[in-house]
Structure 1
């Protein structure tokens, strides 16, 4: 877990889970202030890849902050380096390129950024919430709040949560 650049009172731990056979994803968010649980949420999505639930988890954490902690300084912790790097670096490039990826050498075809609808929503939220830091933490190493977010996401990804009969 890296250390945030500014002291943060509110920490949100997020995680996503994905079942490729059922093409179902789950996401979980745990909100903590001074190491005391102050809120949580989770949900399910039908999706085509494992990245979408990770992105939705960050997006839902931002939405939670917009309702429950307006104007407060916060850190959102994710164990997805894709989500963290995308939020902190790539989204600016993708927005400039109209949500298309370009080859590093400038040659070749550009292609749509996967899950561009989620990236656009994340970009809009992060632009509004400039006091929010997105940081990486190592997953599955016993960090209690991260483990709880993981458990919420795994539970939400189960077919029964969506009202779908399991096979």
Structure 2
């Protein structure tokens, strides 16, 4: 059966959040945006702005995905550090998958600015299957009326949603 991207396309940040924390994904999808108050997020935006002074950065495709840099051969994603490599990779794989679905074949690279490290990635059929599964699951999570159960992760304290998730609630 053919996968219909049109029914499942989403923002790249949601793919990233899916691999970081499904609760964060749900909150973000409901319009609860805590990133505006996060110093870490602001720092990331500043690094992104200062790192690459190019005309071809931040290319918006179909009003849904925003590519950091698009050049002849590559889609380049800019990240501060490689602490969360799986979410970073999956976001970039999603971009490559999306572009392939609309007839554009590219390679990908993640530019970890602070570490001066570049990781190249290529889309495979196995990764395409993972992306399809991810998109289907993202749709389920974002349409659910309740957030996923809180899962304590090693990086929760640094998350922009930390206070929201860990506010003391009455036990019923």
Q: Could you say which structure has the higher strand fraction? A: 1
Q: Could you say which structure has the higher helix fraction? A: 2
Using structure 2 for the length normalisation, give the TM-score: 0.28
